Chains A and B, each alone.
Chain A
Amino acid sequence: MNDVISGSVGQVRPQTFQCSEPLPLKSGAVLPGFSLVYETYGKLNADASNAVLVCHALSGNHHVAGYYDAANREETTGWWDNLVGPGKPLDTNKFFVVGVNNLGGCYGSSGPNTVNPKTSRLYGADFPVVTVEDWVDAQALLANHLGVQCWAAVLGGSLGGMQATQWTLSFPERLRHAIVIASAPKLTAQNIAFNEVARQAILTDPDFHGGHYYEQGVVPARGLKLARMLGHITYLSDDQMAEKFGRSLKDGALKYSYDTDFQIESYLRYQGEKFSGYFDANTYLLTTKALDYFDPAAQAGGSLDAALAQAKADFLVVAFTTDWRFSPERSREIMTALVHNGRRVSYAEIDSVHGHDSFLLDDAQYHAVLRTYFDEVVL
C-alpha cells in the first residue's frame, strides 16, 4: 500500500512469450522455436514510445524490479529494484520497462534446463551456443509481441551493456537511446582468461557428465561454486576488499589447517555455495562464451569506428573508476568510436570504490546521471 511512496513497482509476476518461428543462430544452428520469460513494469503508452528494455548480465534474469512475495519481500526483490520504479531514476510513471531472461538462461526461458522438443528430454549440453546477437534477435521478437516497434531506450550493465550496443547495430531504427554501463566493446585476453578458468572449474567437475547432469540427478555444484568465487574476486576492487575484509579472521585465531582462516575465504565460500544452489552450470558456461565471442569490430575489419557507423541511437556510456574487470578504458573506446561517427554520446566516469559491482549499487552521482538522462528522453 505504501508502494508508491517507497518507489516499488509492487508485487509482480513473470510472463512467458512463446515463439513458434524458428530462430537462426549465429553459430549456424537453428532453434525450432523458443520461449522467453519476461516481466513488465509501468504502462505502455498509446503510441508505444515509452518502452525501455533492461538487459541482464551473466547471472541476472527477467526479475528486474518489484517483488514476488510480500511476506518474503527482501528475498524476492528484483536485481535492479534500486533503479526501476515509480519516482526512481528509471521512472515507471513515465516508462514501460521490460526485463527478459535471455535464451540459454536458467530462469524459465528456453535453455539447457528446458525440454528439447526434438528429444522430449532436457537440452543439457545440446542447447546451442548462443551469442549476444542471438539474444538481441530474440528480444526483437519479444518487442514485436509487446507491440514495441522502437524502444525509447535499451540499457544494461556489463554483458547487458553489450546487448544494448548490439541493439544499435542489429536494429539501428528500433531504439532511440542506448545506455551502456560498465561494459566493453569486446573482452580483453585477461577477461577471457578469467572466463576460461571458470569454465574449466565446471567442465572438470566429476558431476558435470558432459552437461547431461540433470539425468544423473546431480549438479556440478563444486565447479559452479569455484567459478562464482573467481568471478566474485573480479567484481570487487582491491581497496574495497581490503576495507571490507582486510586480514580479519573468521574465528579469531589462525587454525593452521585448510579450514577457513580469513573472513574473505568465508565470504567467497558462502557466495559460491549460495550461487551454486540456484544457478545452472550449463547456463554459466554458455553465457561466458557469449561474453567471449562479442566483438562487433571484428566484423568491420577490426575497426570499432566502422562497426558503430551503423548505429543511430543516442548513447550514454557509464564506467566506474575502480572497475578493473570492465575498466573505464574499455568504455572510453566505445565513447570515442561514437564521437568519431558524430553520434550523440555522453560519458560519465563515476568515482566508486565498489569495482564492477558498482553498476548494481545506488551511488548518488551514478543514479543522478541515469535519472537526468532518462528525464531528458523525449517520448
Chain B
Amino acid sequence: MNAKSAGKSVRLDLATLRADLDAIAQWIEPGERVLDLGCGDGSLLRRLMDEKQVIGYGIEKDPACVLACLKSGVNVIQVNLERGLAGFEDGAFDHVIMSLSLQMIQNTVGLLKELLRVGHEAVISFPNFGYYTHRQAILKGRMPVSESLPYQWFDTPNVRFFTIADFEALCAEQGIVIHEIIALDNGVRVHEDINFLADTAICRLGRA
C-alpha cells in the first residue's frame, strides 16, 4: 500500500522522500510515543528510534513490509488501517505520523479523526494534486504522472485526489487545526503559492 514498501517499486524520488522524513522528524521530540501509519519498511521509525529515542510503533498491512520492520528491530503492527485504530486508547501517542499514504485511504475523515483521537498531534504528508505540472497535464487532457505522483491512472494505489487547498478546507470544516505546513518542490522548501508550486505538503495537525 505504501510507496516506501520493501520489495515494491520505490518510484517516489528519494529527494522528496528524504525531505518529507526530515520535515516529519523535526517535529518529533526525544522520547515521544509515536505511531507511524503505513510505516513501510520502518525506516522512519528506525531513524526516530536512533536519533530521538522514541517509543515507536508502525502500522503496516503488507506482509513483506512486516518482515522488513522485524528485521530492522522496528515494532510493527499488522492491521488494516481502513478498520481504524480501534483498541488504542485516546491520547495513547504524542504524535501519529502518516507519510504519503492518506491519499490511499478510502475513509479519509474517519481516519483523520482517529489519528487525532489516539494522538495529541498528527503529522501528515501527502502529494499535492494541485502542483503546476499536474495542472499542465490535465490541461493537456492527461492525468498527471510525476515524481510525486508516479502512477498511471489504471494502476495507482491512490484512491483520493486532492490539493493542499482541498485539505485545508476539509480541516477547517472538521475542526482540525493545521499548526504548520511545510511545502516542498522536489525536496526543496517552497514558501509562496504552495498549492501551485509544491509537489508535497507536510502538515502538523491538532485538535481544535
Chain A residues near B (Cβ < 8 Å): 305, 332-333, 335-336, 339-340, 342, 344-349, 351, 365, 368-369, 372-373, 375-376
B87–A369 CB distance below 8 A: no
B79–A372 CB distance below 8 A: no
Minimal Cβ-Cβ distance residue in B for A376: B73
Q: Which residues on B sit within 8 Å (CB–CB) of A373?
A: 70
Task: Determine which of B55, B77, B89 lies in contact with A347 in the assembled complex, contact meaning CB atoms within 8 Å.
Answer: B77
* Given A336-B87, A339-B88, A339-B92: A344 and B75 interface contact (C-beta under 8 Å): yes
**A342 CB → nearest B CB, Å:** 5
A333–B63 CB distance below 8 A: no
Within 8 A of A (CB), among B67-117: 67, 69-71, 73, 75-79, 87-89, 92
Minimal Cβ-Cβ distance residue in B for A345: B75
Q: Which residues on B sit within 8 Å (CB–CB) of A349?
A: 78-79
A348–B73 CB distance below 8 A: no
Whether B66 is near chain A, meaning CB under 8 Å from some CB there, is yes
Q: Which residues on B sit within 8 Å (CB–CB) of A347?
A: 76-79
Minimal Cβ-Cβ distance residue in A for B85: A336
Complex CA–CA separation, A45 to B92 (angstroms): 40
B88–A348 CB distance below 8 A: no
Minimal Cβ-Cβ distance residue in A for B71: A372
Task: Determine which of B67, B71, B73, B92 lies in contact with A340 in the assembled complex, contact meaning CB atoms within 8 Å.
Answer: B92
Q: Which residues on B sit within 8 Å (CB–CB) of A375?
A: 71
Complex CA–CA separation, A149 to B149 (angstroms): 54
Whether B33 is near chain A, meaning CB under 8 Å from some CB there, is yes
Whether B196 is near chain A, meaning CB under 8 Å from some CB there, is no
**A168 CB → nearest B CB, Å:** 16
Q: 23 interchain pairs (CB within 8 A)?
A: A332-B79, A332-B87, A335-B77, A335-B87, A336-B87, A339-B92, A340-B92, A342-B33, A345-B57, A345-B75, A345-B77, A346-B69, A346-B70, A346-B76, A347-B77, A347-B78, A347-B79, A348-B76, A349-B78, A369-B66, A372-B71, A373-B70, A376-B70
A336–B70 CB distance below 8 A: no
A340–B70 CB distance below 8 A: no
Total CB contacts across the A-B interface at under 8 A: 52
A348–B78 CB distance below 8 A: yes
Q: Which residues on B sit within 8 Å (CB–CB) of A369?
A: 66-67, 70
Chain B: number of interface residues, binned into ranges: 10 to 19
**B129 CB → nearest A CB, Å:** 32
A376–B66 CB distance below 8 A: no
**A313 CB → nearest B CB, Å:** 13
Minimal Cβ-Cβ distance residue in B for A347: B77
Minimal Cβ-Cβ distance residue in B for A366: B63
Complex CA–CA separation, A143 to B67 (angstroms): 31
B63–A346 CB distance below 8 A: no
Q: Which residues on A sit within 8 Å (CB–CB) of B92?
A: 339-340
B71–A368 CB distance below 8 A: no
Complex CA–CA separation, A332 to B85 (angstroms): 11
Q: Which residues on A sit within 8 Å (CB–CB) of B79?
A: 332, 347, 349
Minimal Cβ-Cβ distance residue in B for A368: B67
**A311 CB → nearest B CB, Å:** 14
**B113 CB → nearest A CB, Å:** 18
Q: Which residues on A sit within 8 Å (CB–CB) of B88?
A: 336, 339-340
**B8 CB → nearest A CB, Å:** 16
**B32 CB → nearest A CB, Å:** 11
Complex CA–CA separation, A342 to B69 (angstroms): 18
Starting from the known contacts A349-B79, A369-B67, A376-B71, 19 additional A-B residue pairs (CB-CB under 8 Å) come to A333-B87, A335-B77, A336-B87, A336-B88, A336-B89, A339-B57, A339-B92, A340-B92, A345-B75, A346-B69, A346-B70, A347-B76, A348-B76, A351-B63, A365-B67, A369-B66, A369-B70, A372-B71, A373-B70
